[in-house]
Amino acid sequence: MDFSHSPKAQEMMARVKAFMDKHIIPNERAYYEQLGPDHGDWAKWKVSPLMEEWKAMAKAEGLWNLFLPDEEYGAGLSNRDYAPLAEIMGYTPFASEAFNCSAPDTGNMEVLVKYGSPEQKKKWLEPLLEGTIRSVFFMTEPGVASSDATNMEATCVVEGNEVVINGRKWWSSNVGHPNCKIGIFMGVTDPNAHRHARHSMVLVPLDTPGVKIERMLPVFGRYDMPEGHGEVSFTNVRVPISNIIAGPGRGFEIAQGRLGPGRIHHCMRLIGVAERALKHLCERATSRVAFGKPLANLGGNRDIIANSRLDIDCARLLTMKAAYLMDTVGVFGALTEISAIKVVAPNVALKVIDAAIQIHGGGGVSDDFPLAALYGYARTLRLADGPDEVHRGMIAKYELKKYEAKTHK
Amino acid sequence: MDFSHSPKAQEMMARVKAFMDKHIIPNERAYYEQLGPDHGDWAKWKVSPLMEEWKAMAKAEGLWNLFLPDEEYGAGLSNRDYAPLAEIMGYTPFASEAFNCSAPDTGNMEVLVKYGSPEQKKKWLEPLLEGTIRSVFFMTEPGVASSDATNMEATCVVEGNEVVINGRKWWSSNVGHPNCKIGIFMGVTDPNAHRHARHSMVLVPLDTPGVKIERMLPVFGRYDMPEGHGEVSFTNVRVPISNIIAGPGRGFEIAQGRLGPGRIHHCMRLIGVAERALKHLCERATSRVAFGKPLANLGGNRDIIANSRLDIDCARLLTMKAAYLMDTVGVFGALTEISAIKVVAPNVALKVIDAAIQIHGGGGVSDDFPLAALYGYARTLRLADGPDEVHRGMIAKYELKKYEAKTHK
Amino acid sequence: MDFSHSPKAQEMMARVKAFMDKHIIPNERAYYEQLGPDHGDWAKWKVSPLMEEWKAMAKAEGLWNLFLPDEEYGAGLSNRDYAPLAEIMGYTPFASEAFNCSAPDTGNMEVLVKYGSPEQKKKWLEPLLEGTIRSVFFMTEPGVASSDATNMEATCVVEGNEVVINGRKWWSSNVGHPNCKIGIFMGVTDPNAHRHARHSMVLVPLDTPGVKIERMLPVFGRYDMPEGHGEVSFTNVRVPISNIIAGPGRGFEIAQGRLGPGRIHHCMRLIGVAERALKHLCERATSRVAFGKPLANLGGNRDIIANSRLDIDCARLLTMKAAYLMDTVGVFGALTEISAIKVVAPNVALKVIDAAIQIHGGGGVSDDFPLAALYGYARTLRLADGPDEVHRGMIAKYELKKYEAKTHK
Amino acid sequence: MDFSHSPKAQEMMARVKAFMDKHIIPNERAYYEQLGPDHGDWAKWKVSPLMEEWKAMAKAEGLWNLFLPDEEYGAGLSNRDYAPLAEIMGYTPFASEAFNCSAPDTGNMEVLVKYGSPEQKKKWLEPLLEGTIRSVFFMTEPGVASSDATNMEATCVVEGNEVVINGRKWWSSNVGHPNCKIGIFMGVTDPNAHRHARHSMVLVPLDTPGVKIERMLPVFGRYDMPEGHGEVSFTNVRVPISNIIAGPGRGFEIAQGRLGPGRIHHCMRLIGVAERALKHLCERATSRVAFGKPLANLGGNRDIIANSRLDIDCARLLTMKAAYLMDTVGVFGALTEISAIKVVAPNVALKVIDAAIQIHGGGGVSDDFPLAALYGYARTLRLADGPDEVHRGMIAKYELKKYEAKTHK
């Protein structure tokens, strides 16, 4: 066992950290000021000029597409080597975009690298890799419990040379971004096929007739400008059959492969979030005085700090192990571990953020500190990409398999 | 022991419940639509015409000033009898105002009833009781840990016939309300007096020169229009000495008396909130299907429902006990119990709301359900009127007193 | 609502408390010394002479059969009035016996009062009420999950004028007591009847041929001398048909009625246990010094003390509410509340005891303090009379009933 | 990062596992039967012949002194390589002794290897390495809070060529073992020296006049035969000055170095315990039926299983990281991590064991399963080698150090 980072990872960590410290962290407030006060009228959302500057700089420095293990298209880093970079970026909610590493583009690019046709790559992967356009993933639906994928109701039916798309999706993150041009839509193509061969993934340009953003959904009252989370209706949307990725019926298979790295990325960013919350907590604990003592010396605050450190370190190790397994045995050999971190990381982050809010008093629930906003972000990740309950169910299923063969069901 | 409600309480419960069911609950969405999308530019906030209608109706039906145990000025209900009414009103975040029972007016009116001079009563209590104006309480300060009241830095110094007020307050709830005309300001009058005799409470009309609302503070991203939580600066604000309530140096004493009933009211409303969250949770659990079963039959959901019921029932009983003690032995005989419910009620509400959010999936964090907004509200109440830590410290202090006399310190 | 105790309850509380303080608490160690070191060879167990003295004194003082609401046979106290007495007795694990109030005799006597024939009362109830014999309840079975009563495998089949009993029971508490002479056996009489009419309860004298105590079961390593928890086999045991209580097939009905008060008693005793643990905790916190301070002033200890006080007070109120409902609307109107306290009380007691153990350091896990032994006792009560899981399931079932009618199942 | 075990570790894991599976696990019950029923009369304790057989076999197979990283005296395994072996041994509470790897001998041997004089090594280290004698560590005292080492009251004063020892120690584990011949005593030599130079460690043969075992202490009612936990008095005990290890005043330094590996060993064994508890839990969940389903399919049981898996995996990774740091940067570079696992491992084990007890119903608290005994063992480890509170305090101290320099204290 060796818990040290590879020399390559260490070098990249230093460079990404320096970029964050120099460019992004000191300009967090300036970035939000460029966006203006949060609101849900997405047609008026705009891109921050700062972000465009950062993107240009990061690209110039080679800090670009770091998430992509494919050496031809991306940085060629293993999951183990990318993980600490995602943690560093996670400090600032919007930082990943500066490195062209933000969801859902990352997952969409991976899908196109692995399954895209040459034409699909040319048309959509290239501008995504360049950072000139952004993308969306249309999966979850408002009318059904999406934790059970077989509930999916939206359809993408093949008619001749076309695919006809109908249905309603929500939590379509990033759909409000002014640069968002393309979506990957998942729907039912053949309801009579085996349950893992019913769905297809289809590339849908957002300007295709019949695609309509109905509204943006707030998360704990915030719209996450300029990306947003949209509810989108599809009414007899027609795209060429060549827009299906890897052919009809392969949606489920692609989705499974897509979600592994995405979950790791989310979790590493959340660990960065948790570290930030602990930093704010400790800064407050050592600088604020009540009853004649710094808060750090009052009541159970040191226990809270210690438990935060414990929990964060556990979550990071578990995530690194999942990354290690993905690198060495692949997504399907790491399913338990991926589900594990998907449960652990958001809950750890929420616990630390909540403790940080509490020690900040009224300031903690306001926007004078980033804590309340981070809470909303982390809370959502107990639901996105499968709720805790589904992941716990998976872990238990694998655990019980060791015993069930021997006994009755 | 008798856990039943008095006939008077039962009758009032039925009437308030009917009012809620008929007028307020069906119009929740309409009310928010009258206010428009949430924003922090308080100068543009307005009063919902629906609220004015409800106030007129409630007053006409005698469902008015129910919180005020004083029979001359209010409904003359005991805390025990008012508690279930506050729970019923708590279902809808803004409902208390319809019955002229909303914080901080309730506490301010109580202060004026108990400590106000005839002139103060005439000028400020009467319109507050009528519901024609609203009020604010200036207590917490941004620069110091307000959990320790001795940290207070704002001053109200007597100079001849005037009081000169300087300092900065925040979390001044309701200060953004278009009808908010008067505030009770707490500050240091004599820093050399005994620590419980340093402070005074002063009536400050909001239009007095030197009073400036600097900004509104969001709570988990929301501004709670049209009441809001303001940060307010006071620069050489001068009011007549007759605006001091009960005389200089009595601020601490008044504050302590003021907070008891206020905390009970908050807690009972929170129990109403928790019941609402459990209702939404159960409705979702019985109506939504995944993996071929209603969610109620999946995983640990029934345990969550059972624990919610347990926790809510415990919190209600503890609150009723505090109300009983306040009615029978007074605030100072109920300090442990008041601190107890102040810790228990918000935490129970948060736990149930969080579980309800989780079972609603993405809908839970959006505004399609009231859950995310209620979470922000309840979270704040782990800080307002003293953070959990201070109340736990009080409870432990009282508990340990039973033993410390016998042993060394 | 009225949270005060009745004058009768207050008087009895003072008298029971005085008895405990004068006779039992100072002699705890002497009592255990009379019993000798704990071991599982029940044939050698003996009765402590101290216990016989206490019984005589308590009976003489009228502090006898306090649990029995029936005025003809017992003290005629309501559940509300008995509850605080059970709490006071609960301080010392073996104290209830001194007042002829110990399980399972209490439940067995109640069954005989309500359902016993005159002959059954004459023969078994009278000596139980006198305290000259003790009894056992044969319910749980080692081979099946007894949380599901329909799993029960033991049989009591009517053959002519006799009942033939076969099967194996365990956790037959008190069966090792030298004075234990009679058991109430529950088994299947008619497997084809409705599931609530299959079982009977039969009185089985322990000296009947075919009744064999196979062994005593330790609880966390202790045998609870001189009562013990036995595993007992029944091989063609024959008793007269007149030994069936209330007639064949009524076992389930009797069991349900029996368990309500029994659970309340357990819970009130547990609250007494929790109060004792908190007392030890606070005594240690104020008397032991580390790092220059009493433990009470270190780390999160005051939070632990405050939370213990909160939890105990909640559990007591919930138990009092269940008692109130049992007194006013009967067991079947209090099912939710009885299940509620059955979950809450043991878990609260365990939490407080565990915290007390921790603050006592090594002493806490030893027998220098009663804490480790109390932990084992309280832990068992998360299983006895239905595990937490079953009670949570009941509470959720009742909660969901409010919603299910309106929607689909 | 590389989460795989070294080839050497993998080979040793297979061999230790095979030894456990073949010899020890099938004979657990036989071993306890050789010892007889648990009791506190240590003079009658004896060694199990099975243990002597296993020791001979393990030594012959080279599975001996595996804990000792020193290649001259022991197996020369790194902490990383030994850790999984300790986990495997941890399955059975007494198994470590078979491999001459049981506490406190391991720590005592390490002390002698690192600090012992040639004579001390000859006389005491050699027979310990051979497994012909056993040893005890005299540290904790009954009269003071031992969590604060400066509280220590026992003395070892140099008088000419002798050391004179006085005081009282308890929780002297292993002192009851028939083969226990030597103890390392820690006491105050110079109360006026710097607080880290006051103490010495002295070798005290148990048959030295003035050494008296006063009693054995039970842990949750059990005496842990044949090792036991003794309370031992020292009255004018005189040993040659050459029995001081490394010279007077170095006790504190030695203690710190001693505790690092010992804590790792405890934690890895606890992880073995937790895995065993989860195994029993899953076996029960898949084999026991209630309400027509295996318990695994009822209520929240799958969540419990999943959380157990998560918690165990986190605890193992955290322990492996501490082992890695000890191997690469030494004990003093791993203090945070050692404190971290010392908090995490026992709490995780307790949580899983408790869940396993619950699913076993009455069987869980009895001795039909090892769970209740394991609970007592794991509970003690929240106190031994420093209570949770002290370790949390250490972690918080290190965390806050990052911030305190910048701000005021």
How close, in Å, is residue B269 to chain A by CA atoms?
20
D314 → closest Cβ in A314, A408, A409 = A314
Separation of first and last alpha carbons in chain C: 37
Q: Determine whether the interchain pair B37/A37 forms a contact, defined as Cβ–Cβ distance below 8 Å.
A: no
Q: pLDDT tens across B298-328, in order?
A: 999 999 999 999 999 999 999 999 999 999 9
Judged by a CB distance cut-off of 8 A, whether residue B300 touches chain D is yes
What the block records as the tokens of D277 is 């508890």
* A345 touches A270 (CB < 8 A): yes
Interface of A with B in 179-198 (CB under 8 A): none
Whether A409 has a pLDDT exceeding 90, the answer reads no
Helix (H, G, I), strand (E, B) or coil at A289: strand
Q: Which of B260, B247, B234, B279 is nearest to B342 (CA)?
A: B260
In B298-387, alpha helices (H): 301-328, 335-359, 362-365, 371-380
What the block records as the tokens of B342 is 């102040």
Whether B11 has a pLDDT exceeding 80, the answer reads yes
Q: pLDDT tens across A35-49, in order?
A: 999 999 999 999 999
Enter the ipTM. 0.96
Question: Which chain B residue's Cα is nearest to A221?
Answer: B221
How close, in Å, is residue C294 to chain B by CA atoms?
7
CA atoms within 13 A on the CB side of A317: 25
Q: What mean pLDDT is predicted for residues A118-133?
A: 98
Q: Determine whether the interchain pair A1/D324 forms a contact, defined as Cβ–Cβ distance below 8 Å.
A: yes
What pLDDT does residue A408 have? Answer: 45
Whether A122 has a pLDDT exceeding 90, the answer reads yes
What pLDDT does residue A133 have? Answer: 98
Give CATH for domain C134-249: 2.40.110.10
Q: What mean pLDDT is predicted for residues D294-314?
A: 97
Q: Determine whether the interchain pair D3/A318 forms a contact, defined as Cβ–Cβ distance below 8 Å.
A: no
Whether B101 has a pLDDT exceeding 80, the answer reads yes
Q: pLDDT tens across B171-182, in order?
A: 999 999 999 999
- Domains of chain A, residue spans: 7-130, 134-248, 252-404
Q: Which of A176, A138, A137, A142 is nearest to A41 (CA)?
A: A176
Interface with chain D: mutation pick from A310, A316, A320, A335, highest number of D CBs within 10 Å: A310
What the block records as the tokens of C153 is 């495998």
Query: How far apart are the C-alpha atoms of A346 and A391, rounded to whole Å?
Result: 12
Ramachandran bin of C207, using left for φ above 0, alpha for ψ from -120 to 50, beta for the remaining angles:
alpha
What pLDDT does residue D148 have? Answer: 85
In this structure, the number of other CB atoms found within 10 A of the CB of residue A305 comes to: 26
* B80 touches B316 (CB < 8 A): no
How close, in Å, is residue A324 to chain D by CA atoms?
7
Whether B128 has a pLDDT exceeding 50, the answer reads yes
Phi and psi for C183 in degrees, rounded to 5?
-130, 150
Q: Determine whether the interchain pair D366/C218 forms a contact, defined as Cβ–Cβ distance below 8 Å.
A: yes
Whether D236 has a pLDDT exceeding 50, the answer reads yes
Per-residue confidence band for C146, with pLDDT thresholds at 50, 70 and 90:
confident
What the block records as the tokens of D117 is 């004089």
Q: Determine whether the interchain pair A365/B220 forms a contact, defined as Cβ–Cβ distance below 8 Å.
A: yes
Whether C54 has a pLDDT exceeding 50, the answer reads yes
Q: Determine whether the interchain pair B366/A39 forms a contact, defined as Cβ–Cβ distance below 8 Å.
A: no
What pLDDT does residue B218 have? Answer: 97
Angle between helices A335-359 and A301-328 (to 10 degrees): 160
Query: How far apart are the C-alpha atoms of C158 and D345, rounded to whole Å?
Result: 55
Q: Determine whether the interchain pair A302/C299 forms a contact, defined as Cβ–Cβ distance below 8 Å.
A: yes
Judged by a CB distance cut-off of 8 A, whether residue C288 touches chain B is no
Q: What mean pLDDT is predicted for residues B324-335?
A: 91
Q: Determine whether the interchain pair B314/C309 forms a contact, defined as Cβ–Cβ distance below 8 Å.
A: no
Q: Provide the mean pLDDT of chain B.
A: 95
What pLDDT does residue C332 have? Answer: 87
Chain A residues in contact with C303 (beta carbon < 8 A)? 299-300
Q: pLDDT tens across A37-90, in order?
A: 999 999 999 999 999 999 999 999 999 999 999 999 999 999 999 999 999 999
D395 → closest Cβ in A310, A395, A406 = A310
Per-residue confidence band for C256, with pLDDT thresholds at 50, 70 and 90:
confident
Angle between helices C301-328 and C335-359 (to 10 degrees): 160
What pLDDT does residue B406 have? Answer: 56
Q: Determine whether the interchain pair C39/D40 forms a contact, defined as Cβ–Cβ distance below 8 Å.
A: no
How close, in Å, is residue C142 to chain D by CA atoms?
8
Q: Which of A246-260, B340-354, C182-196 has the weakest average pLDDT?
A: A246-260
Per-residue confidence band for D1, with pLDDT thresholds at 50, 70 and 90:
confident
Whether D121 has a pLDDT exceeding 80, the answer reads yes
Chain A residues in contact with D344 (beta carbon < 8 A)? 310, 314
Whether A134-248 and A7-130 are alike in CATH topology: the answer is no
Strands (E), C241-355: 289-290, 293-294
Whether A12 has a pLDDT exceeding 90, the answer reads yes
Give CATH for domain D7-130: 1.10.540.10
Q: Which of B354, D289, C35 is nearest to A347 (CA)?
A: B354
Per-residue confidence band for A261, with pLDDT thresholds at 50, 70 and 90:
confident
In A223-334, alpha helices (H): 251-287, 301-328
What pLDDT does residue C167 have? Answer: 98
Among the four given CATH numbers 3.30.420.10, 3.40.50.880, 2.40.110.10, 3.40.50.720, the one describing domain B134-248? 2.40.110.10
* D177 touches D135 (CB < 8 A): no
Q: Which of D67, D46, D182, D194 is nearest to D126 (CA)?
A: D182
Judged by a CB distance cut-off of 8 A, whether residue A302 touches chain C is yes
Per-residue confidence band for B396, with pLDDT thresholds at 50, 70 and 90:
very high
Interface with chain C: mutation pick from D231, D232, D389, highest number of C CBs within 10 Å: D389
* D110 touches D125 (CB < 8 A): no
How close, in Å, is residue D300 to chain B by CA atoms?
4
Q: Determine whether the interchain pair A364/B383 forms a contact, defined as Cβ–Cβ distance below 8 Å.
A: yes
How close, in Å, is residue B221 to chain D by CA atoms?
29
A310 → closest Cβ in D324, D344, D409 = D344
Per-residue confidence band for D210, with pLDDT thresholds at 50, 70 and 90:
very high
Residue D6 DSSP one-character state: P
Interface of D with A in 314-333 (CB under 8 A): 314-315, 317-318, 320-321, 323-325
Query: How far apart are the C-alpha atoms of C175 and D365, rounded to whole Å?
Result: 18
C286 → closest Cβ in B313, B395, B404 = B404
- Please report, rounded to a whole number, the percentage of residues in chain A having pLDDT higher than 70: 99
Q: Determine whether the interchain pair A171/B362 forms a contact, defined as Cβ–Cβ distance below 8 Å.
A: yes
What the block records as the tokens of B149 is 């009241």
Q: pLDDT tens across A332-388, in order?
A: 899 999 999 999 999 999 999 999 999 999 999 999 999 999 999 999 999 999 999
Q: Provide the mean pLDDT of chain C.
A: 95
Query: How far apart are the C-alpha atoms of C108 and C20, rounded to whole Å?
Result: 25
Judged by a CB distance cut-off of 8 A, whether residue A288 touches chain D is no
Question: Which chain D residue's Cα is nearest to A400?
Answer: D282
Strand partners, A164: A157, A238
How close, in Å, is residue C362 to chain B by CA atoms?
22
* C187 touches C155 (CB < 8 A): yes
Q: Which fold has domain B252-404?
A: Butyryl-CoA Dehydrogenase, subunit A; domain 3 (1.20.140)
Q: Determine whether the interchain pair C363/D142 forms a contact, defined as Cβ–Cβ distance below 8 Å.
A: yes
What pLDDT does residue D406 have? Answer: 56
> Could you give the maximum distance between any two Cα atoms of chain B, in Å?
78
What pLDDT does residue B409 have? Answer: 39
* B131 touches B162 (CB < 8 A): no
How close, in Å, is residue D130 to chain A by CA atoms?
30
What pLDDT does residue B100 have? Answer: 98
Judged by a CB distance cut-off of 8 A, whether residue D166 touches chain A is no
Q: What mean pLDDT is predicted for residues C261-277?
A: 94
Q: What mean pLDDT is predicted for residues B226-255?
A: 97
Separation of first and last alpha carbons in chain D: 37
What pLDDT does residue B256 have? Answer: 83
Question: CA C346: distance to chain centroid?
Answer: 12
